[in-house]
Structure 1
């Protein structure tokens, strides 16, 4: 069973490269939060989807760097 945390609002970007940049920025912000260093990110990933829900990018959080 997989747990999901969904951002219902999301953001609108012009292309996949902009989506990738915003995803990395979101990961960096998450890591800057106080308890983020204490979280085991193994198995977690950030998925970027289009308006239909199709996954465009998937970035593993345990290896993503800022």
Structure 2
């Protein structure tokens, strides 16, 4: 299945227009956690306030499959 990983905060959305192909929901969850870790590993990550932000994994129809809060596991 093809999934997209959008960053969402109240009225702000940063859309993933490319997405990736994954085998199942478990693989999508793994890729989402990996993407969150990559965001946190960036140089400016410590300066960003992730409170209220979510990484939404959506399918091609736009249905939200997962929503992971980015402020759950701060460094």
Q: Does 1:29 align with 2:38?
A: yes
- Larger strand percent: 2
For residues 29 and 53 of structure 1, the distance between their equivalents in structure 2, rounded to whole angstroms, comes to 24
Match of residue 62 from structure 1: 71
**TM-score, normalised by the number of residues in structure 2:** 0.82
Match of residue 6 from structure 1: 15
Match of residue 48 from structure 2: 39
Structure 1 runs of 4+ with >2 Å offset: none
Larger RCO (alpha carbons 8 Å, 6+ apart): 2
Q: Which runs of 5+ in 2 are unaligned?
A: 1-9
**TM-score, normalised by the number of residues in structure 1:** 0.93
Match of residue 52 from structure 1: 61
Q: Which runs of 5+ in 1 are unaligned?
A: none
- Structure 1 residues 64 and 52, CA gap change in structure 2 (3 angstroms): farther
- Count of aligned pairs: 66
Instruction: Indicate the RMSD between aligned Cα atoms, in angstroms.
Output: 1.6
